[in-house]
Every structure is written in C-alpha cells, then in structure tokens.
Structure 1
Amino acid sequence: MAEDESLTDSSSDPNPNPCPICLAPVTQDSYLDRCFHKFCYNCIIRWIDVVASKQSCASSSLKCPMCKTENFSIIYGYDGTSFQQHYVGKSLGNSEFFSGAHRYRLKCYYTEPGDLADKLHVSRHWKCRKYLQQNHFLLDWLRREIQALMQEEDVDIIVHHILGVIESLRSDWLNNSRISTEMVQNEFRVSVSEAVRPFLTGRTERFVNELELFLASGLNIDAFDRVYIKHLGWKVDEISENDDEEPLEHIPVVSCLYFLDEDSDGN
C-alpha cells in the first residue's frame, strides 16, 4: 500500500513548482515586487496586458493573481549580482521604439551563444588587426543594444560615450603599431566594461562579448541578426529570413602604413 501511494505521489506531481498562469515549468523566473510570487516573465506580462485591457484608465499597480496583493513591478533577470525591473503601466509592447528586434536582442542575454565566437572569427578579428577598421554600423547597433538592455528609448548619451571610448582606443592603436594582440583585446574589454558598467551593471561582461561578436562579424545589423538567429535556431517574425547572407568580411579595410602578423617581431 505504501509503495502504491509513493508511486502515485511521484507520478501525479512531476513539476511541483509550475508557473501559476500557464501551469508549465517556469521560464525566465520573474517575481512580483511585494508578494514575491513567481511566474514566467511572458505569462505575467500578458496577465498585466489582459488586466489593463479591462480597465478604463491606466494603472501603476497590479493585484497578484495568486494572493491579490498590490504590486508595482516585476523583478526578473537576476544573475547573482543584479536584476531588471519592469514597472506596471510601462508597457514596452506598445512602445513604438521597442520593436521585435529589441525583444530578440534582450532574449539573447538569457541565452548562451555557444560557439558563435568561433563562427564569427573573433580571434582573427584581433590577430589580423581588423579592429583598426572603422565600423559604420556600430552607432545603430549600439543604440538598439542599449535600448533593449535598459528598456529606455533615449540612450544617445550612453551610446556616444561608448563610441568615444572605442574611437579613442582605435586612435591610440593606430599610433602604436607594436602593441600586442593580447594587450589590445584586454584594453578594449577593460575600457568598454568601465564605460558601460554604471548603466548595465550585471550585464556588462555579456555586453562586451556581444560587442566583440558584432565587430568581428564585419556585418551590418540585418545580416548579423540573421546569422545570430540561424545559429540559435530561432524564428523572429520581424527579422526577415534570407539565405543570401552578406559575407563575413564586407567592410572595406582602412588603409594602414603597416601590417604586423601576430608572430612578427616588428622588424
């Protein structure tokens, strides 16, 4: 009898802590800020939209579907050191600037990119000194990336701050032909990290990794998105599928008076 009860208990409750809304395992853990009940991020966002659609005026709070406690925001994206917060009444889904591409990029930060760095030849980007090329797509990519991560439209001050740091580094590297690949890459990562950490906090390291991927790819934004999405096996409706992707090296090389191979001694 005890054995039968044990079998019944184990099989009847395969997921002891499902999302209260969809009843499936929780994806992208999200908590209401007062009662701390946990939901899938997409589920609780949709719940907010449903409740808002039934109200005559916008509200800045939400009653928990479980305990009816009044809550003012959703806490999500906790990575051990920081978290993100979505305030009730601030509907990014209805914001003109927060597009499907923004949502796709934000989702990337919750997904491991695997061997994408190898596919986009990040190491060759540094070894062959392609960092000396000026990337004409970087401004727009940075703007979208920071908008997606901060969920704010007006990020131009931050974007131009990052661009200024990168351009200053590039100018220094152009005037110092003997600096090693390792020193250049380390200086890049440290300088960009210091520039963005006050704004991105726990997302800083991943942002620097994504920035390296974009710069190393040599692609414009649309082509980069297609390569990234294909690599992850996703389908994003707002980003058209096109098998005729641009080649990985299509940005003209800036003329330089020198070219040193990594193994060269400079003579």
Structure 2
Amino acid sequence: MESETAAASSSSSSSSSSSSSSSAATEASCCPICLDPLTDHAYLDRCFHAFCYKCITKWVKFAAAKHPRPLSSIRCPLCKVENLSIIHGFSGGSFQRRYVNQDQRNRCLSGAHELRSHVYDREGEIANNIFDVQRYWKSRKYLWQNMWLQNWLRREIQTITQEEDADVIVHHIQGVVESFMARQQKESLKGTPEQKREEFRRLIFGAAGPFLLARTKRFVDELELFLASGLNIDAYDRVYMQRLSMSSSRDTREIDAESSDQSVQSRFLYFLNEDDAD
C-alpha cells in the first residue's frame, strides 16, 4: 500500500513538473506584448528579452511620442533595462539591427561584436546550460577538429579588446588550443576527463590572461561552450541568444510577474488597437 502511495505521489510530482516546464516553455515562446506566438523574432540588445518585431517597434514609437527630443535608448517594457537597439531579421549568417537613435548606426565593429560585448558585460551570468560541457570531455569530442575556431576566436578577442587587429592574440591562443588537442591524440587514454578539462582551462587562462585581463575567466568559459556546441558560429549565436532570452524572461517573471504582465498588457492592447484603427 505504501509503495502504491509513493508511486502515485511520484507520478503526480512528475506530472506537475512536466506541466510546469511545458507552461514555462509556452510562455517563453509568446510575445509579452501581443501574447501571441512570436513572429519575426526581435531581441533588445542588452537585456535580450524577445518580442515580435512589429510589437517592439510600435512600443518604441509609442514611447518616443511622449518625449520632445529623439530618444537614444529605450527601456525594456518588462525589466526596465535601457537598450540601444533591436536585433531582428535573422537569416543565415546575418541579422539586422535597428537603433533607437539611427545616428548611432556607425560603429567600428559589427553588430555581432556588440552583441557579444553585451554577453561579456552580464556579470555573474553565463548560459552554461545551453550545451553539455562535461559530456564534451567525457565523450572525448575534444579530439575532433573545429573548423570555425579561428573565426570565433577572432570575433571574441576583437569584442573584448575593442581592437580590430587581433591576429597576434588569435594565433597565440589558437596555437595553445591546437597543441593541447594534438597532444591528446597521442595521450587520449591517459588521465580522467576532469583532469584533461582542468589542464585545458589552465593552459588557455595562462595564454589569454595577459591580453584579456579581467575578462579571461569568462572567455575560457565561453570558449568551452563554443567547442562543446559543435555548431558553426551562426547556429551557435542563434541558440545562445534564444537561451539568453528565455533566461531573461524567467528572471523577470520571478521578480515581478503579476505587475509587469498586467501593466504591459493593458498599455499595449490600448495602443496597438488604436494604431490598427488608424
């Protein structure tokens, strides 16, 4: 009898957990403004909250109309973080960027660099549950050559140093990575996956530290994620942004779910209906 009760309790708990996960996933895939499934995905560039492109551009228009001077940034309607632009129009290896103030479009580095810069600016946060890094080491996938490594390293180092000419640092770090991998080809059965991972991180930290300074540990974390993903840069960025957006949405719900939802819904239903009536 006790075992039947325990089984029923376990089944109920599992069902509740599954229902909760399904609900969270559904909520994350809906636009916080129109409450419909996301279409033409758009992300704010600092907080990474996701909206329908049409909805968030209308929000910017609505907010700008309340100020006598052009806005240089816009507050996210969910978390109130100031954002400079909207990232949208993902297609293959490119995306479009719409600045709140269009005069800010001229930049030394690309939109992709700026996006990664915001990733490094998010202190204490890393999307480390996107890919299974431990499995990468246990399954010895580190023995596989990554053909996109050099381009990824170049972009990350340019982002952190804010210098376009980063080839010396890129080749130095790439050389350390490839030397480690080549050595593992000969010594793949020596040492545990944990030991190999620790050695890799120590070597990369030592190679990158003099150049990347306080960003070194975060860079090593990001390098591991990229290698564990096995994806090309475009696919990696897409998955990364989607997960960051989900994380941002979850954090916002935990902080102020009810008040945020009610205020955003009421204000947007009003101005969207008003706009459609024009």
Percent identity of the aligned residues?
46
Q: List runs of 5+ in structure 1 lacking aligned partners.
A: 1-20, 29-39, 43-48, 54-90, 235-267
Q: Using CA pairs below 8 Å that are at least 6 residues apart, which structure has the higher relative contact order?
A: 2
The corresponding residue for 1:215 is 227
Name the CA shift for 1:130/1:112 in 2 (closer, same or farther; >3 Å): farther
Q: Aligned equivalents of 1:203 and 1:115: distance in 2?
A: 13
Name the CA shift for 1:196/1:123 in 2 (closer, same or farther; >3 Å): same
Task: Give the letter aligned to residue 208 of structure 1.
Answer: V
Q: Answer whether contact 1:113 1:232 (CA < 8 A) is retained.
A: no
Q: Answer whether contact 1:132 1:174 (CA < 8 A) is retained.
A: yes
Quote the offset at 1:231 in angstroms. Answer: 0.6
The corresponding residue for 1:123 is 134
Give the number of the structure whose residues are more often helix, by fraction. 2
Question: Structure 2 length normalisation: TM-score?
Answer: 0.50
The corresponding residue for 2:178 is 167
Q: 3-state DSSP class of the match of 1:179?
A: coil
The corresponding residue for 1:12 is none
Task: Give the letter aligned to residue 226 of structure 1.
Answer: R
The corresponding residue for 1:202 is 214
Are 1:152 and 2:171 matched, yes or no?
no
The corresponding residue for 1:260 is none
Q: Aligned equivalents of 1:175 and 1:138: distance in 2?
A: 21
Q: 2:194 aligns with which of 179, 182, 193?
A: 182
The corresponding residue for 2:107 is 94
Aligned length: 156
Q: List runs of 5+ in structure 2 lacking aligned partners.
A: 1-71, 85-100, 247-278
Q: 2:237 aligns with which of 196, 206, 225?
A: 225
Which structure 2 residues correspond to residues 60-71 of structure 1 after superposition, within 5 A? Answer: none
When the two chains are superposed, the root-mean-square deviation of aligned CA atoms in Å is 3.1
Quote the offset at 1:185 in angstroms. Answer: 0.3
Name the CA shift for 1:120/1:113 in 2 (closer, same or farther; >3 Å): farther
The corresponding residue for 2:39 is none
Are 1:140 and 2:151 matched, yes or no?
yes
Superposition misfits of 4+ residues, deviation over 4 angstroms: 112-115
Quote the offset at 1:119 in angstroms. Answer: 2.8
Q: Aligned equivalents of 2:163 and 2:239: distance in 1?
A: 26
Quote the offset at 1:113 in angstroms. Answer: 8.1
Q: Answer whether contact 2:204 2:220 (CA < 8 A) is retained.
A: yes
Question: Structure 1 length normalisation: TM-score?
Answer: 0.52
